[in-house]
Structures are given as C-alpha cells and as structure tokens.
Structure 1
Amino acid sequence: MKSLRLSLQTKILVLVLSLVLFIIILLTASFTYLEAKEIEKQKAQLALKISKTISFMPEVIEALQTKGSEGIIQPTAERIREEIGAEFIVVGNKEGIRYSHPVPERIGEKMVGEDNYRALVEEEYYTSRAVGSLGPSLRGKSPIFSENGQVIGIVSVGFLMKDIKEQIFHNVLRVSFKSLIVLLLAVAGSVMLSRNIRKDTMGLEPYQIATLHTEKDAILQSTREGLLSYDEAGRVTMMNQTAKKLLNISGGFRHLKIENLLPSSHLYQIFKTGKPQMDQELLLEDKTLIINRTPIFHKDQVKGVVASFRDKTEIEQMLHTISEVKSYSEDLRAQTHEFTNKLYVLSSLLQLGEYEEAVEMIQNETANVEVKNRILFNQIEDSKVQAILLGKIGKASEKKIGFEIDSNSSLQGLPSHINLTHLIVIIGNLVDNAFEAVANHDQHPQVTFFATDLGNDIIFEIHDNGAGIPEENKALLFNRGFTDKESLEPRGYGLANVKAAVNQLQGMVEFHSEIGTGTVFTVYLPKTIIGGS
C-alpha cells in the first residue's frame, strides 16, 4: 500500500499552526493566572486602603462614640462605596454590630464572616476571604481607634468574588480575541510562505527534489565526460568523478575556484553574453581538453555555468591506436602476400623442373624462418609481442628491409597492466619509424629488435642503421605534431603516442642517435606500477 505523502504546504501549515496554537494556549494560561492574581491583589489593596481611610474619618469615629448617630455613618459609607465600585462597606462597633450596610434592613445586625478578631482584638490592618451575607468576597479590614487609642469599631470594605472572576473573564476574552487574530495571521503567513517555497522549488515537493537529486548524482557519476558547474564568483558548485580524475583533484571541491582548475580568459564571458561556448580547446600540463560551456538561466539571468570537457589526448590516442591496429592488420596482410608470392615462385620452379633451385629456396627460407621462429617462439613467450613481431616480419619482407630479432632476447609473459593496445602503440610505432628511417638506405637496410625482462623492468630496444636524427630535431622529437617528413596526411603523432603510453605505464623512453650510424630507441617499463597490481 502506497504511503500517504503530505504536501509541503500542508506540512508548513500544520507545523506553524501547531506551534502558534501551543504558544497562544501557553501564553493565555499564563496570562489568566497572572491576571487573576494581579486583579485580586489590586482589589485587596484597594479594599484595605479604603477601609483605612474610612477608619480615620473623624465623623465616623465621633459617630461610633455617640449614641443615636447610626444614621450619620450609613450615607457616608454608601457614597464612598458607589464612588469606588465596592460591593459593600460595613462599619461596625466593637461588638460587631453594623452601623452601615448596602442593604439598610441589615443595619443593627451582627457582622457575618467570623473574620473580625484580628482587627478588634489584635488591632491589625489586613485582607481576608470570607462568606458574608452577600456571598463569598475579598475584604479589607481596619480597626477604628478612639482618641485615646482604644479600639471602638471596625471597617470592612469588600468586593464579591463573582465580580472579580467576571472581570478576569472579560480580560481573558479580550486577550483570546487578539490571539485569534494572531492565529489567523499565522495561517495566512504559513500559506504565503509555503507558496513562496513552492515557487522557488518550481512546484516540486521535497521528496520529488530528493528523487531528482539522487537521479542527478547517478547521471553525473555515470557520465564519461568531465562535468562541473560554477557560479558568478567562480566558486565550483558541482563536479563529478570524471572531472576530478581529469583535473587531478582529490577530496572536496567546494573551496576551489574555476580559474585555478581551467585557466582561460573566457571563463566569465558567458555571464555577460549568455551564449554557450562549444568545442574550445584548453591546454593543461599533460593533456588537451575539449570544453563546452552552457549558461544556467534563472529568471532570464545567467546564475551559473555548466562546463563539460573530455580529454582530447585520449581521443587522439584511441584514434591512433585504431590506426596502429589497422597497420598491424596490414602487416599481417603483407606477410600473407609475401608468402603467397614465394609459393607462386616455388610452384613455378617445380613446374619448370628446376628442382635444385626449388630445394635451395626452400632450405634458405626454412633456415631463415627457423632462426626467427626459434627466437620468436622459444625466447619470447608473450603471445601479444609474438603477434606484433610476426606482422612486422612480413612487412619488412615486403619492403625488402632486414628485420632481425636479437638472439639474446628473452621475454616471459608480460604483467596484466601492459595490454595489447600499449604494445601496439609502443613497439608498432618504434618499429615503423625504424622501417621509415632505413627505407632510403642504398645497400643493406637493417632493423634489430631486442627485448628482455631481466631485473625490475621490461626493456624493448629498436635499432636501425638509418641516417640518424639531426641535432636540432632531438629536443622536438616527442612533441605532438612534429615531423621532418613531407606528407599530405597529418603526421608527427607516433612518437608522441609512444611517450604518452610509456608515461601511462610509469615507464621511460630514451634514444641515442648519430648522423650516418643510425638510431637506438630504448623503452623501460616497470613490472609493477604505483597504485596498480
């Protein structure tokens, strides 16, 4: 069963309303409690203050000491009661007999509440709660003293508890109304906030954004091209593993600046023009990158750039490897063609009855092949090297070039990190270059191949007796595109590819050449590489 997913707007609305409602209830409860305490305190202080004031009034003191003056105190007490809003003001004598009361019929009766002792006996001024003839009330009590300091009566000013509670209720109701307005504002604000967030997220819910992020990360990491993005300040905001590998970066990339990774004068131009830049070449230390830059628009403004790039060196190496494989195929074809020609000659000699010449030809070819095969198959055990050399033997035979495998060669199976592609590029290019070097030799064009795996390195050596390399060309020999041969086709990539392949295998290539004596190329490939098997 598919789980119910709440929208972002619903989540924000529920969260904000729950939080606001909790705060409102908490504040209202706190306010109610504090307000009740404060109102009761105010009423008690007012009652006590009024009772004190009345207890010191001369006419009240005189009336309590004069018989038949009960009618003097009642009007005064009622006038004051109406002015301050008290529920009752009762003045009594020392025995607690009333001289004033809101209900005139109760004048002359004994005061109710049983809370006069502290004023009449202990001569204290205080507040109390008691149930009187009008109901539960909050009272202020003050003793009345005569001129000689004797207690002659008591004043009791009271406010009914139901009136106090009603006042508290009205205050809480007023606060609750304001809280309701705050709650409505919170609802409106949360709706506006959620809509604004949805607008910023292009209407996508958080789980949809998480899905997109996961898919984007998977796409980035599975892309064979290097991908990175950067903002207007040049800060790198995204980079996949291929980009890290091409730019030799390990660890995080958030602190990196784009100009330190891809030095170019056009990095920020796209922010001004808003136009993509396609198929631009950028030369780094050891490779050439083909870079495409595409602007990222937000509200018709360029906020960032996505750069994709691939290694042109790898592309060129792949193309040249294909070319070398094709050349290897041509070498095998030449070998087949050469042996076919020899078979035709042998067949013709036999048909003409020239048996001695036929036998001599077979013996010469057999001796030559036996020597080469003995070295090739007995001393060089790696099948990949054997296959390449077989092709070159056929090609040399077709071109009438002497191609010898040094009898001191000794080579076992090569490590797994040296594959056929590496051997085709390295051995194939060096042998072909040697063939070209001796092609114009007038007498005995000769190329010698030597291989050994003694020690920690695998060594290949190719020697030719060509014209040699001029001194001014030696420093440029491994530069990509450099050649001293005239041709309509692009040249100058063979030795550059050899150098790149050797570097990839963490090896070394060197040469020695003298004018008129020929050239020797030596390649050293370690049997184990750092970071490899």
Structure 2
Amino acid sequence: MPGTEKIGVLRLFQKIAFPLRIFLLLLLVSTLLIAALGKYLTASFEDYLLEHVRDMAMNQARIIASNDSLITAVKNRDSAHLAVIVGKLSTGSDFDYVVIGDSHSIRLFHPNPEKIGYPMQWTKPGALEKGESYFITGEGSIGMAMRAKTPIFDEHGKVIGVVSLGYLVSKIDSWRLDFLLPLAGVFVVILIVLMLLSWLFSSHIRRQMLGMEPRQIARVVRQQEALFGSVFEGLIAVDSDGLITAINRNARKMLGLRSPGRQWLGKPISDVVHPASFFTEKIAEARQDVICTFNGLSVIANRGVIHSGHAAPAGAIVSFRSKDEISTLNAQLTQIKQYVESLRTLRHEHLNWMSTLSGLLQMKEYDRVLEMVKGESQAQQELIDYLRSEINDRQVAGLLFGKSQRARELGLVLNIVPGSQLSALPEGLDSTEFSAIVGNLLDNAFDASLKNSRSNNIVELYLSDEGSEVIIEVADQGCGVPETLREAIFEQGVSTKTDNKDAHGIGLYLIVSYVSRCGGVITLEDNQPSGSLFSVFIPKVKKSNDATYYDSDC
C-alpha cells in the first residue's frame, strides 16, 4: 500500500504544470537547504556558546581562587569577609553565583547564608586531594547550572579550599535565544526571497517555453523534424548571428553537403553557403521569389523572419528550389498559356471570318470572297516567313506570332520594326527566360495602350543582336508610368494596374532579375507624344560584375 500511495503522489505531481513543478521543487530544495544550514549554524553556535561559557567560568573561578584576601579568609574560615570579597568581585561580572568551600567541600560562603556549613554538591571525588579543576553541569542548590570548580592553594601550594562559579542554564538559554531569533528572522527573509526568485525563474521558464509542457515541446520538435524532412524544397534556418539552427535533407542535397544534418548545426552559414548575403543581410525583411546562386546552383529563394517577441528578429528561415525546375514548370505553363491564347484568337477570328464569308456568299460576292481569303492568307504567311528567317529561336518566334494575334484581337497593332533579328540568345538566358522578358514588356504595352483613349493603338517592338549586346525595345502610345512609381516600378509587388485586383507586380521585377543576372541594363523613358519606351541591353557574354537598372526621362 505505501508503494501504491507513492505512485499516486508521483502521478499527481506529474499532472501539475511544468513551471509550477519547477517552482515547488526549487521551494522544497531551498527549504531543505535553509533547514540544513540552520541546523548546522545552531549546532555550531551551541558548541561555541558552551565552550565559551566553560572557558569564561573557569577563568573567572581561577582568578577568584588566586585572590590573596580570599585565601586569607578561607584560612581563617571568615565567612563574613568572604561575603565582602565575593560581593566586590561580582560587581561587573556576568556569572550568577559563587560558592566557596574548605578542603573538605564544606561551604564557607554561599549566596544563601542558610546553606553555609553544609557540604557542597556535585563534588568530584578526589579532585581536591589532587588539586584538579573541573567543569560540571547539574541541578544544584540554586538551580540547573553549569559550574566551574577550581581549588584554592595557600602559599605552600596546599589545597585549602575550592571555588565553585556557576552560570544558570536559564541565562545560557536566553543568550542562545538572543542569537537564534535574529538568525531565524534572517532565514525567513532568505526563504521568502528564494520563493520569489523561484517564482520568477519558473515564470521565465514558462515564457521561454511559450506556455508548453516538455512533452508538448518534444512533440513540436519531432513534428518540425518530420516537416523539414517531408518538404520538397530546401530549408535552412539561421539565428540572428548567422548560425545554422536547422537544415533539411533536400537543402543538403542541392547544396552538395554529404555529411549528416546535425554536423552543420551551429556553424556559420557563410561556411556552408556561398554567397551567404541572402541569409544575413537585412534579416528583418521578408523576401519572396528572389533569384539567387547558392554554391553555384541557381535557385528561387524565399525568406521568412523568425520573431521572438522582441524588437530584433531571432533569425530567419530560407526556402529555395532549383531554378531549373521552376524554369521547366514555367516553360510548360507558358506554352499552355500561348496555346490557350492562340486557340481563343483563332476561334474569334474564325467566327468573324465565317460571319463575313457567309454574308458575302449570300450576296453572291464571290470575287470579294476570293480576294479576302487570298489577302489574309498572304499576310499571315508573310509574318510567319519573316519570323522564321530573322528569329532563330523557335520559342521566341512562336511568342511573337502569338502576341501579334493577341494584339489584333485586342484591336491593337504589333509592329515589329524592320531590321529586327535574333541569331542567338545572350549567355545566361534560355528561351523561356528570354521569352518572359519580351512577353512581359509586350503585355504591359498592350495594357497601357488600351488605357489611353487617344492612343494610336500601335505597339512597336525592336529586337536586335548586332554588336556586343542584345537589344530589346518596346514602345507604346499608352498612359505611361506615373512619376510617383518611376523609382519603384521595378520592385516586386509594384504595379501600374491599380484597377486590376489580380495584378501582382512581379513582371518587371522578374525582368530585372533576369537582366541583372546577365549584367544587363533596363531603362524607362517617355515616348512621344505619349506612352513609355522600355529598353533592355543584355551583353552577349555575361559581365563579371552585377549590373543594375536605372530610370531616365527623355
């Protein structure tokens, strides 16, 4: 049964909140320590007090026994004189009483005159014969006392009497209380302070543990490890000092780290990832869809800030995925989008043509029908032949053909400036990325042209790879870029399409990312009489330094 009760108490204790358990344990340990310390100090003081009383009593007894007047009075058995001598010696002393006896321990002086002439109590047998001094405690004629007894010697060294000097136990107890009561008060204050500190410490632990129990924290850690391992993207968490706190298997795989993940924990991120600026610079800012290079691998990275409740962030967690995978997905989505736009355009054109041809046939305008069919086919074929001869990249050529059809559907004209050509893509850009640059610039030009009612509805594209640079110029007669947005138009999330809730402001940001990566430059100028002119200059061979973009007005 006692074992069962202990198990029940232990289970009940485990149900208490962890911070409260810490507080109770600290309180119990503090109480035990204070009790042990109090016991030790009390015992030490008890020994010291008794030793001090013994020494003091024996010294005082010997001083009295060596008094010449007292020796003479003992020889003469003069009790009256002894009373006078003892009275003088008692002045200023703290002993309680003195009893003087002869060589046979018969009292010659006693504080109670009625006791004179009777044998002294607590006399050690043979002590007077040997001239020994001794200390004894017991109940005497005056009460419980601690007595120092020492013989009285004459001038010849013969024992002629004994002096018994006593301290009442009650007085010693009062001295003990005078010391222990303040000490107990100090211990109580210390215990209260320790209780307060224990509570503050347990509260600090509760805050640090976010109010969770250890088993909950362990579960969260296991969940985090499982989450890190199951995420397909690479994940790396760093603290505010740039030290790695977590890294998953896919991150190690993409970065070429062969050692187990725990080996990298606590190491500077600069020792693992090169360059490490994305992990350490402006760590308080969250960033999304940033093109970076980690250990020679081109990736799309995102960064989230880890907050700890203080002003300064506790660190950041970076997720990244190989840009090649994103590019493959982007290429597939781009092709699907082009197919959808082409089908929609062809369907629209087909319906218009069918309606027109139906009307002409009903009016028996057969010559007009034939002329119309030949003219449209010839225009389409001329555009296709031009793109096939001047644009060697088939994906870019297909994009331009699709954008031309899209412009017609929108009531616009896409004018590819004569002399445009593209023999080869610049170094560092693939077909999908180059198409994304051209396609985003044309889409923005289409939107801007449709917003300006005074526009001539013509969008011009100049594409050339003559010389050492590939040049892309897109001009429109649209609404232009407001002055308030010129400084930030190339930043992520900034868009001129304020009336479109689906606009994300990522097109120009993506263009800048591609162009800057290749060491190129993108400029924004005002077109005449209205609209904007975007110019992109990308070196055929990638420069060693990173380029930036700038805005300039005509």
TM-score normalised over the length of structure 2 = 0.55
Give ranges in structure 2 of 5+ residues lacking alignment: 1-7, 337-422, 441-554
Other structure's SS at 1:227 match:
strand
Match of 1:248 in 2: 256
Residue in structure 1 matching 2:312, options 269, 277, 301? 301
Q: 2:275 is matched with which residue: 237, 242, 263?
A: 263
Q: Is the 8 A contact 1:116 1:141 kept in 2?
A: no
Separation in structure 1 between the aligned mates of residue 296 and residue 280 of structure 2, nearest angstrom: 24
Distance in 1, Cα, partners of 2:242 & 2:133: 81
In 1, Cα distance between equivalents of 2:248 and 2:267:
14
Say if 2:50 is the partner of 1:50: no
Structure 1 residue 198: deviation in Å? Answer: 2.5
* Cα deviation 1:401-429 (Å, max 9, x = unaligned): xxxxxxxxxxxxxxxxxxxxxxxxxxxxx
Distance apart, 1:108 and its partner CA:
1.8
- 1:61 aligned to which of 54, 57, 71: 71
* 1:182 aligned to which of 190, 202, 216: 190
Question: Contact 1:287 / 1:313 at 8 angstroms: preserved in 2?
Answer: no
| Superimposed CA distance per residue, residues 214-261 of structure 1 (whole angstroms, 9 cap, x where no aligned partner) | 222222222111111123332111111221121122222125332341
Find the counterpart in structure 2 of residue 26 from structure 1.
Answer: 36
Identity of aligned residues (%): 25
2:286 touches 2:304 (CA, 8 Å); kept in 1? yes
Deviations 1:57-93 (A, max 9, x none): 11111111225x2101123224434632323211111
d(CA) in 2 for partners of 1:55 and 1:287?
103
Instruction: Give the aligned partner of residue 411 of structure 1.
Output: none
Counterparts of residues 125-524 of structure 1 (less than 5 Å): 125-249=133-257, 250-251=259-260, 252-259=263-270, 260-263=272-275, 265-271=277-283, 274-284=284-294, 287-298=297-308, 299-317=310-328, 481=430
8 Å contact from structure 1 (residues 78, 89) kept in 2 = no
* Partners of 1:115 and 1:130 within 8 A in 2: no
Q: 1:92 — aligned with what?
A: 101
Aligned length: 340
Q: Which moved more, 1:192-201 or 1:55-64?
A: 192-201
Asked if 1 retains the 8 angstrom alpha-carbon contact of 2:286 and 2:303, the reply is yes
Verify: 1:76 aligned to 2:25, yes or no.
no
CA distance in 2: counterparts of 1:232 and 1:205, whole angstroms: 26
Between 1 and 2, higher relative CO (CA 8 Å, sep ≥ 6) is seen in: 1
Which deviations, in whole Å up to 9, do the C-alpha atoms of 1:378-423 show, x marking residues without a partner? xxxxxxxxxxxxxxxxxxxxxxxxxxxxxxxxxxxxxxxxxxxxxx
Change (3 A) 1:202 1:284: closer
Output the aligned Cα RMSD: 3.7
Q: Provide closer, same or farther for how the CA distance between residues 287 and 151 of structure 1 changes in structure 2, counting only shifts above 3 A.
A: closer
Cα deviation code 1:259-312 (max 9, x no counterpart): 3414154443323xx322211112356642110112223323233121110112
How many angstroms does 1:192 deviate by?
Answer: 1.8
Q: Residue 44 of structure 1: CA displacement?
A: 0.9
Pair 1:268–1:229, CA change in 2 (3 A): same
3-state SS of 1:153 partner: strand
Q: Distance in 1 between matches of 2:185 and 2:92?
A: 31
Distance 2:79 2:125 in 1: 20
1:63–1:116: structure 2 CA closer, same or farther, 3 Å change rule? farther
Match of residue 132, structure 2, among 124, 129, 132: 124
- 1:310-350 deviation per Cα after TM superposition (whole angstroms, max 9, x unaligned): 1122344567799999xxxxxxxxxxxxxxxxxxxxxxxxx
One-letter amino acid matched to 1:302: P
Classify 1:323/1:302 alpha carbon distance in 2 versus 1 (closer, same or farther; 3 Å): closer
* Deviation larger for 288-297 or 157-166: 157-166
Deviates more, 1:30-39 or 1:73-82: 73-82
Deviations 1:490-509 (A, max 9, x none): 9xxxxxxxxxxxxxxxxxxx
Task: Measure, in 2, the Cα distance between the counterparts of 1:285 and 1:174.
Answer: 70
For residue 292 of structure 1, give the secondary structure of its aligned residue in structure 2: strand
8 Å CA contact 2:106–2:120 kept in 1: the answer is yes
SS in 1 for 2:163: strand
* Kept in 2: contact 1:92–1:100 (CA 8 A): yes
Quote the residue 1:14 is aligned against.
Answer: 24
Q: What letter is aligned with 2:105?
A: G
| Larger radius of gyration between Structure 1 and Structure 2 | 1
SS in 2 for 1:121: helix
> Could you report, residue by residue, the CA deviation over 1:442-468 in whole angstroms, capped at 9, with x for unpaired residues?
xxxxxxxxxxxxxxxxxxxxxxxxxxx
Question: d(CA) in 2 for partners of 1:100 and 1:112?
Answer: 13
**2:145, 2:297 → 1: CA distance?**
97
Residue 109 in structure 1 maps to residue 80 in structure 2: no
Length-normalised TM-score, structure 1: 0.57
